[in-house]
A and B are shown apart, each in its own frame.
Chain A
Amino acid sequence: MERKIRVLVAKPGLDGHDRGAKIVARALRDAGMEVVYTGLHQTAEMIVESAVQEDVDVIGLSLLSGAHMTLFLDVTQLLKKKGIEDVLVVGGGIIPEEDVPKLKKAGVTGVFGPGTHCEEIVEFIRKNVKR
C-alpha cells in the first residue's frame, strides 16, 4: 500500500507572480509529494473545492500582494465552515512579523517568509500533516 502526501499549491488574490509558488511546487515534487498546481487568481471557494476533490493533505498558499490576512483567512474560515479539519494549511510570501501569530491562530499553521529554504517547508509538511 502506497501513501503519498498530496499538496494543493494555489495563489489567491490578484498579483501575477507565481515564480515562488512554482519553485516550492517543484521542491515538493522532488521530495516525493504529489503537487496539484492550480495557478493564479484563485478565490477561496475555488481553492477549497479543489482541495476537497483532490483530497489533499496540505494546502499551500502563496501571496505577494500583502492582502494575505483576508485571503488566507478566507480559506481557513471556509474550511472550518465545511467541517474540514484534516487539511494542513501553510502560507508563504511577504508577511510582516506581527501578522504571523494571528495567521497561526486562524489556522495557517506554517508561515514562511521570503528566503525560506524549500527543505524547511518540506520538513514542516512532513512533520505536521494530519493524516
Chain B
Amino acid sequence: MNEIVAKVLKGDARSIARLITLAENNDPDVMSAMKDIHPHTGNAYVIGITGVMGSGKSTLIYELTREYRQQGLKVGIIAIDPTSPFSGGALLGDRVRMMELATDDGVFIRSMGTRGMLGGLTSAVYDVVEILDASGKDIVMVETVGIGQAEVDVIKIADTTLVVLVPGLGDSIQTIKAGVMEIADIFVVNKADRSGVEQTIAEIESYIDIANTDRDRKTPVLSTIAKESKGISELIYEIDKHREYLKKTKRFDAQRRKRYEAELVEIIRKRLMDFIFDEPKFTGKVESLIDQMSKKEVDPYTAADEILGKILK
C-alpha cells in the first residue's frame, strides 16, 4: 500500500493534509491512493451546513464540534469558500471562528476554494470526505455558502443537511438558491438573539407546508444563538433523530448509494471533459468547430457529434 495512505489510516495530520492537496490539484497519484482509501470509508456521518452568507455557519460548526468532542467523537471539517473568478485566488476565512479547535488532535479542519473548474470542486470534495472518513473521523462537516449550483451539488454529499437562515428572513430566503431550501433536512434560524425570530420560523414553516407534502417526516425548524452556545444540544438531538429516521426507513443506504452514483458520474464526466478539452489533438478541432458554428457553417449538434464520434469510435 501507498506509504501516505498507511499514515492517513493512522490519522496522521500531515499525511491527511498532503493527500487532500493532491486531490484538490487533480494529481494523477490520487487515483491509486483512493483505491486504498475507499475500502476504509463509510464510517463517518456527513453533515452539510449551508445557507445565507454570514448567518453563523462556521460558529455553529465550532459549537457542534465542541459537543461532539465531549461525546468523544473525532471530527473533520471541510470549509468551502468561493474562488474569485477574476484572479483564481480565494480568501478562506471560516477558520477564524474555529481557531480554538486548531490544537485539538481529534479535529481536522481544511479550507477549500471552489476553484470554479467545471465541477472540479465536487469531485475533489468527494475525495476529501473519503480521506477524512478513512482517517478515523466519526463526523465530517461540510460548510458552503448556498448561492451557486456548485454549492448545492456539493452539499448533496451530506447524510444530513442543515440550512442556516437568520431572522428578518423575507429577503434572506431570496438570497439563497431555491434548490437550497429543498435540500434542508433541518432548518436552523441562527442569531435568535435578534428580533423577528417567530416570524422567520413561521415563514419557513409555511414554505415547508407547501414544499414537502408527500413526506413522512416534517422538516424541523430550530432556533439557535451560536455565539452564546444556545440551542446546540437541541440541534444535535435533531441531527441524531434524522440519522435514526434514515436508518429506520432504509433511506440511509439508498441515499449513500445515490452519493456513489453521483460520484461515479462526476468522475466520468470530469475525465471525459479533461480528455476532450486538454488533449492537444482535440483542442484544435474544438476551436475550429466553434469558429464554424459562429459562421453558421455547422450546427451545434453536428459539431458535438464530430467530437463525440472521435471518442466513441
Chain B residues positioned under 8 Å from A35 (CB to CB):
89-92
B96 pairs with A29, CB closer than 8 A:
no
Q: Is B69 an interface residue (CB 8 A)?
A: no
From residue A122, how far is it (CB to closest CB) to chain B in Å? 10
Chain B residues positioned under 8 Å from A84 (CB to CB):
14
Contact of A53 among B84, B109, B113 (CB under 8 A): B109
Contact of B103 among A36, A38, A45 (CB under 8 A): A45
Q: Is A3 an interface residue (CB 8 A)?
A: yes
Instruction: Knowing A1-B26, A2-B25, A46-B103, say if A34 contacts B89 (CB, 8 Å).
Output: yes
Report the separation of the CA atoms of residues A73 and B163 in the bound assembly, to the nearest whole angstrom: 43
What 0/1 readout, one digit per residue, does chain A (62-81) give for beta carbons within 8 Å of chain B?
Answer: 00000000000000000000
B13 pairs with A52, CB closer than 8 A:
yes
A50 pairs with B102, CB closer than 8 A:
yes
Q: Within B9-37, which residues are at the interface with A (CB < 8 Å)?
A: 13-14, 16-18, 20-21, 25-28
Q: Within A1-17, which residues are at the interface with B (CB < 8 Å)?
A: 1-4, 6
Q: Is B99 an interface residue (CB 8 A)?
A: yes
B99 pairs with A38, CB closer than 8 A:
yes
A1 pairs with B27, CB closer than 8 A:
yes
Contact of A32 among B17, B20, B26, B89 (CB under 8 A): B89
B87 pairs with A32, CB closer than 8 A:
yes
From residue B219, how far is it (CB to closest CB) to chain A in Å? 33
What 0/1 readout, one digit per residue, does chain B (102-145) give for beta carbons within 8 Å of chain A?
Answer: 11000011110101010010000000000000000000000000
- Closest B-chain residue to A47, C-beta based? B102
From residue B226, how far is it (CB to closest CB) to chain A in Å? 16
Chain A residues positioned under 8 Å from B179 (CB to CB):
none
Instruction: Knowing A1-B25, A53-B108, say if A46 contacts B99 (CB, 8 Å).
Output: yes
- Closest B-chain residue to A35, C-beta based? B91
Contact of B89 among A2, A30, A42, A46 (CB under 8 A): A30
Chain A residues positioned under 8 Å from B102 (CB to CB):
38, 45-46, 49-50, 53
B99 pairs with A42, CB closer than 8 A:
yes
Contact of B84 among A6, A30, A55 (CB under 8 A): A30
Can you offer 25 A-B residue contacts whose CB atoms are under 8 A?
Answer: A1-B26, A2-B115, A2-B117, A2-B120, A4-B113, A29-B89, A29-B90, A30-B87, A30-B89, A32-B89, A34-B83, A34-B90, A34-B92, A36-B95, A37-B91, A37-B93, A38-B102, A42-B99, A45-B102, A49-B102, A50-B99, A50-B109, A52-B14, A52-B17, A54-B17
**Which are the 8 A-B pairs with shortest beta-carbon distances?**
A29-B89, A39-B96, A55-B17, A46-B102, A32-B88, A32-B89, A55-B21, A37-B93
